[in-house]
Each structure stands twice: as structure tokens, then as C-alpha cells.
Amino acid sequence: MRLWHKFAIGSAAGILLAGAALFALDAADKAFPPPLAKADVVSAEVLDADGQLLRAFATSEGRWRLKTTVADIDPQFLRMLIAYEDQRFYDHDGVDAWALGRAATQFIRNGRIVSGASTLSMQVARLIEPRAGRSLSAKLLQLVRAVQIERRLSKEQILDLYLTHAPYGGNLEGVRAASLAYFGKEPRRLTVAEAALLVALPQLPERRRPDRNLKAAQEARKRVLERVAVAEAVGDGEAERAEAVAIPPRRLQLPALGAHVAEAALRKEPDVLKHQTTLKKQVQQGLESVARAAAMKLGPKLSLAMVMADAQTGAIVGEVGSADYFDASRSGWIDMTRVNRSPGSTLKPFIYGLAFEQGLVSQETIIEDRPADFFGYRPRNFDMSYQGDVTVREALQLSLNVPAVKLLDAVGPSRLLVRFRRAEVRPVLPPNETPGLAIGLGGIGITLKDLVQLYTALANRGQPARLGDGITGQPAELDGEALLEPVAVWNVADILSGVIPPAGAPQRGIAYKTGTSYGYRDAWSVGYDGRYVLGVWVGRPDNSAVPGLTGYGTAAPILFEAFAKSGISTTPLPRPPAGAVRIAQSELPISQRRFALNASGLLVASGREPAPQIVYPPEGAHIDLGAGAGDLSPLMLKLQGGRAPFRWLANGKPLPDLSRRRTQQWLPDGGGYSKLTVIDSAGRAASVGVFID
């Protein structure tokens, strides 16, 4: 009984001592936890709309440390890593007792370290809490920390830490940074040779860097591939084939796309580690490659900017703020997409659009290109010559100045700016000046981004899109009216799509317009298809003159090359809307055959006071308003001449209200033949017969 009594007391004491030891260990574990918070210090990343890396920023210590998870890595790499570094990773609790015993036995037999016993958990402990030396106390701390880490994290989380913090030489840390730097790609799909190199480098990263010591890197990779467990993990014969693959001898630059957008994203939310943008990586790469090549040809001190936007959503899919962000000679840090500059002739399409909308002209209307005096303002063409009588179509395609100013005088500069406000674009007028005719030739300030926003209306049947900032998601839609009516927009696109591309540029089915500001300070080109708008600006950031700089000769070739290298397939321009038709000059109403204004500002065909004349729809026209589908659209009616107010009649029945405008909408009751009549205040009338389809 006494022996049993002693055994019971001893057992109880042992249990108490074990419990006390466990309590002490648990208390120590809570009092001195592993510094896992340090593991959260990673590089900030800027991503494209699809989550692809555009640019990374080094940490405050200057490290390229991209957060990496198991999901980001090729599974074969993980199998090779565990086979080489820690075969019992999923079985131990941070310390591999079998490996420790093997390493100790080998050390006693050989008097030196033959193999290590460090687990991946122990390596993670060393990475997040580095020690200067390799003392016994440091190794013991690693053992303790490994156990602590295993108690707190899952195996997958431990692998995530290793994949993020493993050293790869220089300031590279983590598998993603190393894969991008040595192979130029994300590590989602690695070859056996690439995976083996990434497994080998962290043991002695500085000695094995392929950009510094290619031979050492080759030998280290060979040792990984010759490990039996690794060979089994990669499959029969793969290791031998991988040994023959060359190792990249140089380190690549990590992605640095969209510099200005990336900097803006970081300033906007400095504490966020991942910034989503609306940019498309493929588009951004294409635009930047074109910008770099163009900068080499442009010469010193010149910069360029580009904005490509989705005309339907307003999302900026590509943006280049300067020729080279890091080129101080070009003031590359200045985002020229946000700087007000003179737009040259790039606003002319909107002048013509208003003239089409108001029924002042058709494409084949004759307009004079001769010296003219507008109360002291005497516009001249870019080449100082004049073409005489030209059609409106030719005048816009040739970007003639006098016809554009004549039309602006007719539609009114203030009305043009009011239309711009529908797109939430407010150009900057010179100090203490009111809107004048000079705005049609660039006498106004506008940013490239706002210019592209205006052109989204031309690509989107008259409805402008609000452009985002390239950082946030899809911008809110504009609530205002259309910038121009669909028929007027079609007429503009029909003309601009016929402009001859620059020499050597392919015909891409886009409509485009160029512009050159006064004094050769700015060269512009803006083009669009049925979905995307691309704007290009070239000039000096200090606004100095650049002799020989022109929109057609300098900016347009960049526009066409950028469209080609953006990777975006051309979307056909919108189909003609109901009522859109190009009428031959011989079939135009008399008042539309030649554009001229009398002293009262009325369009005339001769010197006398004109009678009202319906210019749209033309006599006998068949107009598709959807009668067959049973859902009729309204028909736009346009007239010239006459004296307001006007009374419209449809099939003898008056429309509800008198109108002082020369445009009116009429909703037919059904399809078939209809007769439209307008009567002015002097009692003069004009009529046309049309067929509603």
C-alpha cells in the first residue's frame, strides 16, 4: 500500500509539474508572441481592371515584396519546394524531430554540418524575425517561433508567408517579385526549370543570383533537380530536360505601367495595399510602347500624352501622362492629360454638328473659303491659301478655317459652349473675354481628358460619357441632354471617317480630326470608332513653340499606331439613324445649295428676304421611323428662312404650339404618305410630301 501511495503521489506531482510547465509555456507564448504583424509590410500594388499588376511600389526599406499566396503560385512549384525543403511539412508541428536527429547524427560523425533540419515554418520564423548571426540561441529561438507560428496559422498561411518573404537577392523578396524580375511573368505557370531556380535561390540568394553569378545559379538549380524527391514530384525525365534550359542572365524591371495614374491612386488612398484601376494592361502597354518610340523621334524636351476611353461607360482604359515619367528633360512628372492647352481645330466637328442640327447646311452645301472680315477678326487658313468654293464636307475634311468661322458665326459661340456644358466640359476662356469666334480655331483652353470626353458623344450617337479618373470604378452617367442630335453626329462621323490617314498608316475604319495650335505649340489628333475614343497631344510642357509641329504630321501618325497597338479590335461606327442620308447637291433645297448670310443673319439663296423652306425631310423621302414594328420614333423637322413664329401642319392638322425655332419634332400617327407644311408669320408657306416607313 505504501508503494502504491508513493506512486500515486509521484504521478500527481508529475501531472502538476507537467501542467505547470505547459502553463508556463502557454504564458510565455502569450507574453512573447511571434512578430507576425511585421509580415504584413508588403509592397503597394496598382492593378488593372482585370486584376493584373500594372505597377508595384517598393516598401519603406526599399524592398520589392509583393504579397503572394498559394493561389498565386504554380502547384508544381509548391510540390518541388516541399520536396526539396521540408518533405514532412504537412505532418510536423513546426519542428521535424526526425530531421533534427539525422542532422545531429551527421554532425557527430563528420564533425561538420552535412544537412540541415530547418523546416519551412522555421524559415518563416527567421524571415519575419531576422538575426545577425547563426548562433545556437538564434536556432533555439527559431524552433520556439516555429511552434508558435504553427499554433496560430494554418499550413497554407505559413506557405503564404514563405512565398511572400523568401529572399531572392538584392532587394527582391518573395516568389512573385523574383518571377517577374527573372522571367518577366507572374508565377502562376512556371516551367520545371523556372520552378527549380526559384526553389534554389533563397538558400544563398546573394551568391546564387543569376544576374551576378550565373554559374552558381546553374549549380544550385542542378542540385534541386537531382534531389530524388524533386525528380519524383516533377515526373519521369522532366528534371533532366530542365537542366538543359538556359537561365536568364539578367534581371528585368518590375512592371511600371500607368505611372501617373498609379501615383494618383497612391496619393488618394496611401494606406491601401491594392489599388484597382479602370486601365487595361494590354492597352496601357501598347500606348506606352508607342509613346516611347515616338519620343525618340520627336527629339529632346518634347512630351506627349494619350487618353483612350470607352465611349459607352466613360472608363479610361489607357492613359499616358507624358513621354517618360522619369525623364526630367521632358518634365515627365507633369500629367499633360490634365493641363489646359489650345485645342487648335479639334473643336470644329462640333461647330459643323450644330450647323447640321439646325439645318443650316448639308454635306454637299457649297461654302466659300475666301478672305473674310468678321468685325475685325480675319481668320486665315493654316497654309495661308484659300480654296474658293468648296462643299461643307470638303471644308471639314481639309480643316479650312474661314468656313468653320462662318458656321460658328451662324450658330453662335455661346451656344457651342452651352452644348459643351451638357458634357460637363467647361473650357477656359482668355482672361476678361467673352465667347468669340476665335474659339473655333483654338482660342480657348481645354485638357486632353475633356477633349476626349467631348468626342465620346460623337462615338455614342450624341450622348457624351463622363470620363472617370482611371482609378475608381465606372463613373456615374451624365444626366443632361445629348450633346448633338444623332443625325448631326452621323453627318460628322461620315465626313471624318473619310479623312485620308497619314502616310503609311493603315485605314482602320475610324473617324478622326487633327489640330495645331497657334505658334506650333500643340499638336492634336482625336479618333474614334463605334466604341472607343483615343486622344493624342504632342508639345512642350513649358508651352514653347516647336517649329514644324502639326496635328496631321506629328500627332495623327501616333494616333493610328496607338490604335493598332492597343490590342482592341475596331468597332464599326454606328449605323445611320432614322432620317440620316447624304443628299446630292442637285437634290438639295435651293437655300441649302450655297451657304450665305444676309445682314440680318438669315440664310439666303439670293439677295432678297427668303421665304420659309423645309430642308428636312426632303421632298419624296422614305424615312424609317419604325412603323413596321409598331413603335414609331419622332421625326425631326428643319426649315430655313421665313419669319418667326412658325406654325407646322401635318396632313392638314396643326401641331400643338407655335415655335420660334427652326427645328420641330413630329410624331406620326402611323406609316404611309404624309404631307408636312410650315407657315411663317408673314403667311408664306412651304410643303413637302414624305413616306413614313
Q: Which amino acids are annotated catalytic?
A: 85, 345
Contact (Cβ atoms closer than 8 angstroms) between residue 538 and residue 302 = yes
What would the grid cell of residue 336 be? 499633360
Determine the 3-state secondary structure of 43 from DSSP. Answer: coil
| Distances, alpha carbon 666 to alpha carbons 9, 141, 517, 633, 676, in Å | 107, 87, 42, 9, 10
Determine the 3-state secondary structure of 688 from DSSP. Answer: strand
Sign of CA dihedral 156, 162, 165, 169: negative
Q: Which phi and psi angles does 417 have, rounded to 5°?
A: -70, -35
In 3D, which of 234, 164, 156, 153 has the Cα closest to residue 194? 234
Contact (Cβ atoms closer than 8 angstroms) between residue 370 and residue 348 = no
Other C-beta atoms lying within 10 Å of the C-beta of residue 82: 19
Residue pointed to by grid coordinates 465620346? 456
Contact (Cβ atoms closer than 8 angstroms) between residue 102 and residue 118 = no
Contact (Cβ atoms closer than 8 angstroms) between residue 617 and residue 690 = yes
Q: How far is CA 230 from the centre of its chain?
A: 43
In 3D, which of 403, 392, 397 has the Cα closest to residue 499? 397
Extract the runs of DSSP E, i.e. beta strands, from 286-364: 303-310, 316-320
Residue pointed to by grid coordinates 518563416? 124
Whole-angstrom distance, CA of residue 69 vs CA of residue 593: 70
Sign of CA dihedral 621, 622, 626, 630: positive
| Distances, alpha carbon 531 to alpha carbons 3, 146, 358, 474, in Å | 94, 56, 26, 15
Residue pointed to by grid coordinates 471624318? 496
Contact (Cβ atoms closer than 8 angstroms) between residue 686 and residue 643 = no
- 3-state SS record for 194-249: HHHHHHHHHHCCCCCCCCCCHHHHHHHHHHHHHCHHHHHHHCCCHHHHHHCCCCCC
| Distances, alpha carbon 59 to alpha carbons 40, 66, 187, 368, 537, in Å | 11, 9, 21, 64, 34
Q: Return the half-sphere exposure (C-beta side, CA atoms, 13 A cut-off) of residue 73.
A: 28
